[in-house]
Amino acid sequence: MTNSAHSLGRRQVLLAGAGLCAAGLACAEAWSPTHPIKLVVTYPPGGGADVTARAFVEQLGQKLGQPVVVDNRGGAGGAIGAEVVYRAAPDGYTLLWGNADIMTIAPHLFNKLAYKPMEFVPIGPTAAVAFVLVGRNSLEARTFPELLELARRKELTFASWGNGSPGHVGSEMFKTLGKVPATLTVPYQGTAPAAQALLAGQVDMMYLPSPLFLAMESRVTTFAAAGKKRYDRFKHVPTMAEFGVPVDLEVWQGLFAPPGTPGPVIERFAKALAEVSADPAIRKKIEELGVVPLAGSQEDFARSIAPDAARWGEIMRTAQVRPQG
């Protein structure tokens, strides 16, 4: 681990205590919510992040003694929802269902963001989501090698869910690593609208997050998984790396609080999340979605974020993706 990664991890953990006085809480005082908690998901209903978050909320609410209500705030590759939580009161009643998209990918893609990823307070990891490259059923290609050959002959369209999303980065990686002259990326508000456009034949292909892939597999042409190895839930799907195009888009998801959220609040959420994540029934539910369950301490989660940001920085350089705006 680099010194910078360690410093960033400690900084995020220490920020958890920064708002104690403002919130009127003593450091040693326990905290429990007294009314419903809003969980902001940065993509529209029906997408991979939304489906995964909803698998957690009922049990999380039971552990906390108050309902956890999903609030979908899609748009701008997740930046809109992230800003909502970034500017929310650090009182424990607004949380973020965060992910690599907005925390470790976006900083490499945008010169200016309306939020500062490293100022959110990490609570814990929840899941890792895989992506599968698929096409509309009427596309001439039926296999990944055929898709590459077709894409080298004519410009194909890629659906993404906003600049900075794995769908956007993956389209650039497909082009660069696959030696494809050009593709046209069409942004949508989330994975669900992008998938609907694919089914309607409005775009040629996209990366489906694993929950949507399992739900839609019979209605699309499956080309390859964008990961380092085949996934247990769909082992019949080869990886892009097997064809010489090493695209790895697996992203983590996790729970975050606004900057300055008091330490006792973070501790309460971290304890509840750890209990939910360890529940065999929840793990089974997550695995059935084609998602990999994750669990870990708040400190370990915080320390993992900076190295992941460095990983995505290298991916961006390989894909020749340049920052915007």
Per-residue pLDDT tens digits for 102-119: 999 999 988 899 999 999
Encoded amino acid at 269, one letter: F
Is a pLDDT exceeding 70 seen at residue 280?
Answer: yes
Q: What is the pLDDT of residue 316?
A: 85
Q: What is the pLDDT of residue 287?
A: 92
Is a pLDDT exceeding 50 seen at residue 141?
Answer: yes
> Percent of the chain, pLDDT > 90?
77
Encoded amino acid at 228, one letter: K
Contact 190, 101 (CB under 8 A): no
pLDDT tens, residue by residue, 208-249: 999 999 999 999 999 999 999 999 899 999 999 999 999 999
Q: What is the pLDDT of residue 164?
A: 73
User: Which residue do the tokens 């929802």 mark?
Assistant: 81
Beta strands in 116-211 (DSSP E): 121-129, 131-135, 156-160, 183-187, 205-209
Q: What is the Cα–Cα distance from 39 to 256, expressed in whole angstroms?
A: 10
Q: What is the pLDDT of residue 205?
A: 98
Q: What is the pLDDT of residue 315?
A: 87
Q: Which residue has the higher pLDDT, 297 or 12?
A: 297
Q: What is the pLDDT of residue 165?
A: 83
Is a pLDDT exceeding 70 seen at residue 269?
Answer: yes
> Domain ranges in the chain?
3-128+251-319, 131-243
Question: Which of 55, 130, 59 shows the shortest CA–CA distance to 100?
Answer: 130
Q: What is the pLDDT of residue 6?
A: 43
Is a pLDDT exceeding 70 seen at residue 71?
Answer: yes
- Architecture of the domain whose range is 131-243: 3-Layer(aba) Sandwich (3.40)
Q: What is the pLDDT of residue 163?
A: 77
- Give the residue-averaged pLDDT of 49-61: 94
Q: Do the domains spanning 3-128+251-319 and 131-243 agree at the CATH topology level?
A: yes
Q: What is the pLDDT of residue 154?
A: 96
Which of 96-100, 175-179, 227-231, 313-317 is least confident?
313-317
Distances (CA, A) of 70 to 51, 93, 220, 237: 11, 12, 29, 32
Is a pLDDT exceeding 90 seen at residue 309?
Answer: yes
Q: What is the Cα–Cα distance from 4 to 10, expressed in whole angstroms?
A: 10
Beta strands in 82-181 (DSSP E): 94-99, 121-129, 131-135, 156-160
Q: What is the pLDDT of residue 29?
A: 63
Instruction: Give the single-character DSSP code of 35.
Output: S
Q: What is the Cα–Cα distance from 158 to 162, expressed in whole angstroms?
A: 11
Q: Which residue has the higher pLDDT, 39 or 161?
A: 39
Written as six digits, the tokens of 66 are 């108050």
pLDDT tens, residue by residue, 11-30: 554 454 444 444 444 443 68
Please state the pTM of the whole predicted model.
Answer: 0.82
Q: What is the pLDDT of residue 72?
A: 97
Look over the chain and give the mean of its residue pLDDT values, rounded to a whole number: 90
Q: What is the Cα–Cα distance from 102 to 40, expressed in whole angstroms?
A: 13
Q: What is the pLDDT of residue 220?
A: 98
Q: What is the pLDDT of residue 12?
A: 54
Q: What is the CATH number of domain 3-128+251-319?
A: 3.40.190.150
Instruction: Give the single-character DSSP code of 238.
Output: P
